[in-house]
Amino acid sequence: MTFTYKNQITSLASRQLSGFPAETGLLFPNYDGYCLSNLPAAVCSWLGAPPLGSAGLAGEYTANFHGDYEKVVFFLIDGMGLGFLERCLGNGDLSGRVPVWNQLAGNGDVFTLTSTSPSTTSSALTSLWTGVTPAEHGVVGYEMWLKEFGLVVNMVNHTPSAFPWDSTGMRRAGFHPERFLPVPTLGSYLALHGVSTRIFQHHTLTHSGLSSMLMEGVEIYPFLTLSEDWWSIWLTTPPQPSPGILGACTGQVSTRNAFYQFPPLADTSRCMGSAPASSSTTLSPTPDFPAC
């Protein structure tokens, strides 16, 4: 199997910024169609909405994506960079353990994108949800000095760095994450154009400050384990066609049991014919979903 993305890496690595030595070994952001900040505009165009934020992906990346789509499915796997993915592709040392990546690559396109600068979680995810650079949306680090409050603030939890356990202190001081950004976010923007966004997110992140800041207008479904995540995605996907985004964000890599701590629906009878789920419902792990 041949992957053309290796040529893309060479091209991206050759880009230099003025003021830096020619041989730095660094891969700089390329905001002109080759960065994760260019994804929102592309997603909007695929779902029939006007572009959000900066220009979309480079033409060479979208050449095989034609027309409008009913669904865009996006998986964000924390910590799985290109180096790890390469171990799962081709004849990589992990390809036998996770063959799904070769299967997906064989039926689609694999291309590389640069991250933002800085590439920390709060900055990069905000660019992913707004379509603009950190300099434009204002989240320029994992921790930031907010002079209005006289504090260094963790920009993921939105807590004072000196008092990380005080989860509501910033709100009590008048900080409102929903009003912090000077630009619109993807979920609320797409909602204006009749497109729904559903996110399946680990329960520890569901009510974080960053989630509150980025996910206005988004249906959020918390999960406890990866088994529950996949089950929730299946249960909550509407059978009728409707434009929308399904997103799954996870940092977990393994699980042994399917356990519902946060049931996505009050009634799972659509395909299962079962009683309403409760917060203590335990599901037997199974490789196959019930037929609908």
pLDDT of 272: 32
Asked whether the beta carbons of 122 and 139 are under 8 A apart, the reply is yes
Half-sphere exposure of 11 (CA within 13 A, CB side): 11
* 97, pLDDT greater than 80: yes
Concatenate the DSSP letters of all residues of 186-202 into one string: HHHHHHTTT-EEEEEEE
pLDDT of 241: 62
* 253, pLDDT greater than 70: no
Asked whether the beta carbons of 270 and 231 are under 8 A apart, the reply is no
Write out the two tokens for 231: 């089950």
CA distance 195 to 44: 9
Given pLDDT bands bounded at 50, 70 and 90, which one contains residue 42? very high
Sorted by where each begins, the domain ranges of the chain are: 35-139+181-283
* 251, pLDDT greater than 70: no
End-to-end Cα, the chain, rounded Å: 35
My answer on whether omega of the bond before 118 falls inside 30° of 0, hence cis, is yes
Amino acid (1-letter code) at residue 190: L
Given pLDDT bands bounded at 50, 70 and 90, which one contains residue 246? low
pLDDT of 247: 66
CA distance 173 to 163: 14
More confident residue, 79 or 177: 177
Given pLDDT bands bounded at 50, 70 and 90, which one contains residue 262? very low
User: What average pLDDT does the segment 178-191 reach?
Assistant: 94
CA distance 61 to 75: 18
* 258, pLDDT greater than 70: no
Q: The whole model's pTM is what?
A: 0.79
Helix, strand, coil distribution of the chain in percent, nearest 5: 30, 15, 60
CA distance 50 to 46: 10
More confident residue, 160 or 20: 160
CA distance 96 to 188: 41
User: What is the tens place of the pLDDT at every residue in 98-135?
Assistant: 888 888 888 888 888 899 999 999 999 999 999 999 99
Amino acid (1-letter code) at residue 49: A
CA distance 72 to 49: 13
Phi, psi of 30 (to 5 degrees): -125, 95
User: What average pLDDT does the segment 220-232 reach?
Assistant: 81
Query: Which residue do the tokens 């049991």 mark?
Result: 257
pLDDT of 2: 52
More confident residue, 280 or 150: 150
Phi, psi of 10 (to 5 degrees): -60, -40
Question: What's the chain's average pLDDT?
Answer: 79
Query: Which residue do the tokens 């979680």 mark?
Result: 121
